[in-house]
Amino acid sequence: MKRLISLTRLILLISLFHHITISLFAEDWIVPPDKAEKTAPFVFSKESVEKGAELFVKNCQSCHGDPTRGNFAKLDPTPEDPASEKFKELTDGEMFYKITNGRGTMPQFKMILSEDDRWDLISYIRSFHSGYIQPEPELTSMTGAGERASMTILFDSLSKMVTISVYTVKNDMKSPVKGAEVLFFVKRYFGNLSLGDAVRTNEEGIISYPFPDGIAGDSTGQLTLIAQLNESSGYGNAKKAILVPLGVPTEWISLTAPRAMWNINFKAPVWLILSYSLTVLGVLLALVYIMLQIRKIFYLGSAVDDAKSDKP
Amino acid sequence: MQNSYDQVALDLFRPVRLNRSHLIWLGILTIALFLCLYAYSIQLREGLGVAGVRDYVSWGMYISNFVFFVASSLIGMLISAVLGLIGMKWIRPLTRIAEIIALAFAAVAGLVIISDMGRPERLPYLFLHGRIQSPILWDVTVVTTYVLISALLLYLPLIPDLAIGKKILNKPKFLVKLYEILSVKWRGTKAQWEIIHRSMRILLILIIPVALAIHTVTSWLFASTPRVGWNSTIFGPYFVSGAFVAGIACVIIAMYFFRKNYHLEKYITELHFNNMAKLLVLVSLVYLYFNINEFLVPGYKLEHGDAIHLKDIFIGHNAGLFWFAQLFGIIIPIILLLFRQMRKPFPMLILAILIFFASWIKRYIIVVPTQEHPFLPIQHVPANFLIYKPTLIEIAITLASFILVLMIITVLSKLFPVIPVWEMQEEFELKEKGNQS
Amino acid sequence: MEENDKPNEEQSEQDKKQSRRKFLRNVGIITGGAVAGGAAMYTGIHYEGSKLPSGERLKLLAQDGRLLEVDAHHVTEVHLPESELLMQQGREGLPGHKWVMVVDLAKCRNARKCIDACQSAHHLRPEQYHINTLQMQESKKTAPYNLPKPCQHCDNPPCVSVCPVDATFKRSDGPVLIDNERCIGCRFCIAACPYSARVFQWFEPPLAEESKDIPYNIELNVPQKKGTITKCLFSADRLREGKLPYCVSACPNGVYWFGDEMEDAVTNGTTKETVKFSELLKQNAGYQLMPELGTKPRVYYLPPKNRLFPFEDGDQEEHKG
């Protein structure tokens, strides 16, 4: 019976969405079922609500407005008030998924907010939903019996092959980790460039990763490669960075190197310097010549005067 | 015969004295100048914002005025150099008037540009950190040179006159002393005459490219930018031909007043007015030709930006000023001056004053409307950013520049004869000789 | 993942030092106060001259371009007062980089957060824009869109060409900056800029009184100075710290990508996601504003396809040109 009600609610909700969304978003925002079931790793508290409130102002308010006031931005699709029924209907996992990945006008916060931050946010939003009861928090699921794995990276500059081995250490014994997910990044000035989907280790706990072509390195092709364990695969989030000469060498030529009209005085086009200087010099010489001629008039006049005064 | 020869000198030196009416006139100009300088002091204190210019139309009256001044100063080159060098004898009594006007406008143009600077105290940076690639640097170079050459062109033919004046004048004392110094021991020897003639010829040839350069470079202040309405390849000749029209109008106004006030009817005759009228028609036709090029070609294609620009000045809110400038600055004078009766002094004075105003407005039309419609829309700014309206302070500061020009012309025309004395004497001699033979 | 949030400051600091040192060696700029005088002092700081045995000859490139040779013994470290240091490093730029910006027009909903952040960082009045968002519609039937418009930091900048005193200048790493202590206020650059990117301090700037004791920072244009030009600086001061520009980090809608052309990477200011610059342009048909003018902008736009926001006309006074 209960299921039926919630189903009708869902249908109602979907039809409502259909009215609101424009053709662009003909499809509804469906969260994969396994993600929707996800629950927070901690019990929501006064502290988490407060922290969430702070994060909300910084990251969400500009579109979603102040909860309960309905002063969200007029966008298409509408961001809606987080205190609204529509939000209440979502499971914690759905909310977490939407915040994490974003869609369309809703930015993804994967890179901006930590998982805990996102859960704090949800705890804040839930504080507006009367009658909400938090599902049992799932304590951090460490499938590898709580063991955190380590990593080593090797590379071969000729074959451009990067070899990662993932292992755990117990009583000074290394044992390879099978099926651990590793993400690859290249360090860039403002953030890390993802090289694609996570790669799984084989039976020996090893990944042979062909480094992709066409990634810019420095003048000698050096770049910083980062390998990181995907936390959700359950072996922690160990991270290794290594300088590898696998990038495309790029030569930096100063933008101000060429002579140009827009460059500094010293870097003016040669023809301009020459023609300007020669013209100015020519005119100046002519003017100096005229001045000297005026002086000559004076001397000639003096000579006449002298001749006159000599005569008598 | 000897009598009339001396009479020329007496006639021409008669206005060279300080009488009361001229002192009063100078007094009025000085007071007006100080009132206008007060306006400038406000601008210095508060910032350029007291003028109507804003971020989009950032060049307003001052720059229009600067262009006008440079234009007017070009006339010295046309009258003395071009006409003089091709042997037009009738032009001789007008050369000094033209040179005085050229010198006054060119010298004050430099000050006008300073009034447009946000940081006038940083003027020396132009010499300390000057960038050779900037048309402003070229403009500064070439305007300074032009002022120098114009001053020399005024001074050199004045030397023999100063020697004559030294004998005729007996007061005021300081003037006689000034004449003594400036005449650099002119004794009229053959060698001295040779120097004068040779130097004059050099200067007259030199001033032609320099004068063309000052106005061409001024046009490049606009044409070197990618802006609609300025981005034109004919801006140089367009400006130069327009400058001749404005300059001739200035000379005609000055001719009329000097002739009347200094009683020079014998030297500046109706023939001179008639000839100037024909010259004016000639340069106006050339200017008309460039106008047709400047507007017809983009008007034919109506590219996006050009279409907006032309619509604005043809029928938009700048249309009144544009058509005033075109009609009274070019078309009506050309038509009217075809009639002999209009080539008399008084009708020409009226026409010249109209052309003078129209020429000023034309500079405004060249400078301002282009900035009112940039490539990207003007949005999210106060209303006074959209359309330029000059403020009272701006107008006062602009007036100051005109007052300064008038003062310079007044003082120079009072200190020295406005018509070259020895050249007139030479003409008289030639005429006498002709009568005798 | 979390470590991606904040650029690793220590590392980037080291990178900078490293690349600087490399740069210095590459071009042979090693110079000392004793020889080249004050103008060349800044680069001298970075040369570890003291480690060299005396008698060794060094080739130095002075700021004015002359190649000099001096005994290493004579090379001394020179410490400049902060104001001069800011001026020197501001004119020199960050070697090894070429900054680029990508603006995704499909995402802009005219929230104007970029403008607020920019105006407060640069001490501007509400009507003074280093970056402005314009409501565009090319012709009657085409769809309207919002156009965030910073300075385009052209590689062939018409504004710099016309500057008579080298007050505005192109930097080796891309940005076009302004030296407010040099600017004479002729406004030729305003006339020359086809993007209307420049603003003038017509009156005493706001916060003039409060900021008068701050040493002038050429990369921030603060304190602002009356009677001079100011404009978008690509937040050159933030780039030096390894941070994204003010407007880029303030955007709530993921409109801005900013990065280094040399690394072929741009980072989104909202999501902090880093992608390949060339791929981003390729996949979204990136373009430049008015490329026909030959200004070669360093700001790229992604077309306003699939606009996610309704266009609000508002009561904006509009003067389209």
For the record, the structure tokens of C119 come out as 């105006």
Q: Report the distance separating Cα A164 and Cα B90, nearest Å.
A: 98
Q: Which amino acid is at C136?
A: M
pLDDT of A59? 83
CB neighbour class for A152 (10 Å; exposed up to 12, middle 13-18, buried from 19):
middle
Beta bridge partners of C104: C302
Residue B24: pLDDT band with limits 50, 70, 90 = very high
What share of chain B has pLDDT > 70, as a percent? 99
The tally of CA atoms less than 13 A away on the side-chain side of residue A71 is: 5
Task: Note whether B185 contacts A276, CB cutoff 8 Å.
Answer: no
Quick one: which of B128, B131, A264 has its CA closest to C171? A264
Burial class (CB in 10 A: 0-12, 13-18, 19+), A122: buried
The size of chain B, in residues, is 437
Structure tokens at C1: 């993942």
Q: Tell me how crowded residue B326 is: count the other CB atoms within 10 A of its CB.
A: 19
In a domain, A137, yes or no: no
C161/B224 CB distance under 8 A:
yes
- The string of pLDDT tens digits covering residues B354-401 is 999 999 999 999 999 999 999 999 999 999 999 999 999 999 999 999
Q: Do A193 and C272 touch (CB under 8 A)?
A: no
Whether the CB-CB separation of A165 and A151 falls below 8 Å is answered with yes
Q: Return d(Cα A281, Cα A90) in angstroms, integer.
A: 82
Separation in Å, CA of C183 to nearest CA in chain B: 8
β pairing state of C99-104 and C256-260 = antiparallel
Q: Partners of C103 in the beta sheet? A: C256, C301
Whole-angstrom distance, CA of residue C119 vs CA of residue C250: 12
pLDDT of residue B427: 83
pLDDT in tens, B271-292: 999 999 999 999 999 999 999 9
Q: Would you state the structure tokens that stand for residue C287, as one six-digit string?
A: 């373009």
More confident site: C2 or C132? C132
Nearest CA distance, B405 vs chain C (angstrom): 23
Inter-chain CB proximity A191 and C267 less than 8 Å = yes
> Are the C-beta atoms of residues B238 and B244 closer than 8 Å to each other?
no
**Residue C260, token pair as written in the block:** 């280094």
The strand pair at C145-149 and C132-136 is best described as: antiparallel
Measured between CB atoms, does C113 come within 8 Å of chain A? Answer: yes
What confidence tens digit (pLDDT) does each residue in A116-133 have?
888 889 999 998 888 888
What would the two tokens of residue C52 be? 């060299």
- Both structure tokens of C209: 């009184």
pLDDT value for B80: 86
Cβ separation C271–A218 shorter than 8 A? no
- Are C270 and A112 in contact by the 8 Å Cβ rule? The answer is yes
Name every chain A residue with its beta carbon within 8 A of the beta carbon of C258.
190
Taking a C-beta distance cutoff of 8 angstroms, is the pair C262, C256 a contact?
A: no
Cβ-based contacts of B119 with chain C (< 8 Å): 183-185, 227-228
Report how far residue B349's alpha carbon sits from residue B344's, in angstroms, rounded to the nearest whole number.
Answer: 9
Counting as contact any 3 or more CB pairs under 8 A, the partners of B are A, C
A190-204, B204-218, C1-15, range with the lowest pLDDT: C1-15
> Cβ distance C132 to C149 under 8 Å?
yes
Which helix (H) or strand (E) element contains residue B179? helix B173-182
Q: Given CB atoms, is B190 within the 8 Å cutoff of chain A?
A: no
How many helices (H) and strands (E) in chain B?
A: 19, 0
* pLDDT (0 to 100) of residue B435: 75
B105: tokens are: 């406008």
Please answer yes or no on whether A260 and C156 come within 8 Å at the CB atom: yes
In this predicted structure, the answer to whether residue C37 has a pLDDT above a threshold of 60 is no
Least CB–CB distance from A105: residue in C3, C11, C253: C253
- pLDDT value of residue C76: 61
Domain boundaries, chain B: 2-422
Across C109-135, average pLDDT: 94
Q: Cβ–Cβ of B134/C161 closer than 8 Å?
A: yes
Are C238 and C229 in contact, with CB atoms under 8 Å apart? no
Whether A255 has its CB under 8 Å from any CB of chain C: the answer is: yes
Contact A75 C309 (CB under 8 A): yes
Q: What's A220's domain CATH number?
A: 2.60.40
- CA distances to A66, B65, C79, C83, C230 from C32, in Å: 59, 49, 11, 19, 33
**Of residues B145, B195, B206, nearest to A293 (C-beta):** B195
- A73–C170 C-beta distance less than 8 A: no
Q: ipTM exceeding 0.85?
A: yes
How far, in Å, CA of C188 to CA of C23, rounded? 34
Strands C67-71 and C99-104: unpaired
Answer whether C4 sits within 8 Å of A192, measured CB to CB: yes
Residues 56-85 of C with CB under 8 A from A: 64-65
Residue C280 CA, distance from chain mean position = 21
Q: What is the mean pLDDT of residues C25-31?
A: 40
In chain B, which residues have their Cβ closer than 8 Å to the Cβ of C224?
none
Three-state helix/strand/coil letters over A84-130: CHHHHHCCHHHHHHHHHHCECCECCCCCCCCHHHHHHHHHHHHCCCC
Contact check, Cβ <8 Å, A108/C267? no
Q: What is the pLDDT of residues C84-96, one digit of tens each?
A: 899 999 999 999 9
Give the gap in angstroms from C-alpha B113 to the nearest C-alpha of chain C: 9
Residues A291 and A223 reside in one and the same domain: no
- Which residues, other chains included, contact B128 with Cβ-Cβ below 8 Å and sequence gap of 6+? none
DSSP C314: T
Hey, which residues 176-235 in chain C have their CB within 8 Å of chain A? none
C-alpha–C-alpha distance, residues B380 and B376, integer Å:
13
Asked whether the beta carbons of residue B132 and residue A304 sit closer than 8 angstroms, the reply is no
- What is d(CA C162, CA B377) in angstroms, rounded to the nearest whole number? 23
pLDDT at C171: 96
| Count of structural domains, chain A | 3
Q: What is the mean pLDDT of chain B?
A: 93
Domain extent, residue A210, equals: 150-244
Is there a contact between B122 and C134 if contact means CB atoms under 8 Å apart?
A: no
Would residue A15 count as lying in a domain?
A: yes
Question: Closest Cα partner for B246 from B215, B269, B222?
Answer: B215
- Fill in the DSSP letter of residue B294: H
Contact call for A112 and C272, based on CB within 8 A: yes
In this predicted structure, what is the pLDDT of residue C72? 62
Query: Token pair for residue B409?
Result: 């012309």
B191 touches chain C (CB under 8 A): no
Q: Looking at the complex, report in whole angstroms how far the Cα of residue C7 sits from the nearest Cα belonging to chain B.
A: 35
Cite the DSSP H helix spans in A158-311. Answer: 270-310
Query: C321 and B136 in contact by Cβ < 8 A?
Result: no
C206-264, pLDDT tens digit by residue?
888 888 889 999 999 999 999 999 999 999 999 999 999 999 999 988 999 999 999 99
In the three-class reduction of DSSP (H, G, I as helix; E, B as strand; rest coil), residue B210 is classed as helix
In the DSSP assignment, the letter for residue A206 is: E
Contact A297, B184 (CB under 8 A): yes
Kindly give, in sequence order, each residue whose CB lies less than 8 Å from that of residue A82, ignoring residues fewer than 6 positions away.
A56, A60, A64, A67, A125, A128
Q: In this predicted structure, which of B76-80, B409-413, C176-180 has the lowest mean pLDDT?
A: B76-80
CB within 8 Å: C156 and A228: no
Three-state SS at C92:
helix
Computed over every residue of chain C, the mean pLDDT equals 81
Residue ranges in chain A modelled with pLDDT below 70? 1-27, 138-147, 311-312
Residues A177 and A107 in one domain: no
Which among A264, A268, A305 is the nearest to B185, CB-wise? A305
Chain A: closest CA distance from residue C209 (Å):
31
> How far apart, in whole angstroms, are the C-alpha atoms of residue C131 and residue C116?
9
Tell me the shortest Cα–Cα distance from B246 to chain A, in angstroms: 27
Domain B2-422 has CATH 1.20.1630.10: yes
Q: Which pLDDT tens digit goes with each residue over B320-347?
A: 999 999 999 999 999 999 999 999 999 9
Q: Which CATH class is domain C99-302?
A: alpha beta
Question: Is B372–C321 a contact, with Cβ atoms under 8 angstroms apart?
Answer: yes
- A 149-178 → C contacts, CB under 8 A: none
Instruction: Find which of B4-8, B86-90, C70-74 is predicted with most confidence, using mean pLDDT.
Output: B86-90
Which residues from chain B sit within 8 angstroms of residue A293, using beta carbons? 195, 198-199
Q: Which of C11, C170, C275 lies closest to A263 in CB terms?
A: C170
Q: How confident is the model at residue C201 (pLDDT cuts 50, 70, 90)?
A: very high
Residue C287, SS3 per DSSP: strand
Percentage of residues in chain C having pLDDT higher than 90: 60
Q: How confident is the model at residue C309 (pLDDT cuts 50, 70, 90)?
A: low
A120 and A46 together in one domain: yes
**Among B13-27, B175-189, C68-82, C225-239, where is mean pLDDT lowest?**
C68-82
Q: Which helix (H) or strand (E) holds C231?
A: strand C229-231
* CB-CB contact of B397 with B67 (8 Å): no
Question: Residue C58 is inside which H or E element, if any?
Answer: strand C57-61
B133 contact C CB<8A: yes
**Residues A228 and A291 both lie in one domain:** no
Closest CA to B225 of A277, C201, C129, A261: A261
Helical spans, DSSP H, in B262-388: 270-301, 304-314, 319-326, 332-336, 345-372
Q: How far is CA C178 from CA A213, A227, A268, C165, C220, in A?
A: 39, 42, 19, 11, 9
Q: Give chain A as a 3 state SS string.
A: CHHHHHHHHHHHHHHHHHHHCCHHHCCCCCCCHHHHCCCCCCCCCHHHHHHHHHHHHHHCHHHHCCCCCCCCCCCCCCCCCCCCHHHHHCCHHHHHHHHHHCECCECCCCCCCCHHHHHHHHHHHHCCCCCCCCCCCCCCCCCCCCCCCEEEEEEECCCCEEEEEEEEEECCEEEECCCCEEEEEEECCCCEEECCCCEECCCCCEEEEECCCCCECCCCCCEEEEEEECHHHCCCCCEEEEEECCCECCCCCCCCCCCCCCCCHHHCCHHHHHHHHHHHHHHHHHHHHHHHHHHHHHHHHHHHHHHHHHCC
The secondary structure of C127-183 as a DSSP string is T--SSEEEEE-SSTTSPPEEEEE-----SS-HHHHH-SSS-EEE-TTS-EEE-TTT-
Q: Where are the domains of chain C?
A: 2-79, 99-302
For residue A261, give the nearest of C97, C161, C309 by CB distance. C161
Give the three-state DSSP class for B420. Answer: coil
- How far is Cα B336 from Cα B354, in angstroms, rounded to an integer? 13
Same domain, A92 and A178: no
Q: Tell me whether residue A255 is in a domain.
A: no
Chains that touch C (3 or more CB pairs under 8 A): A, B
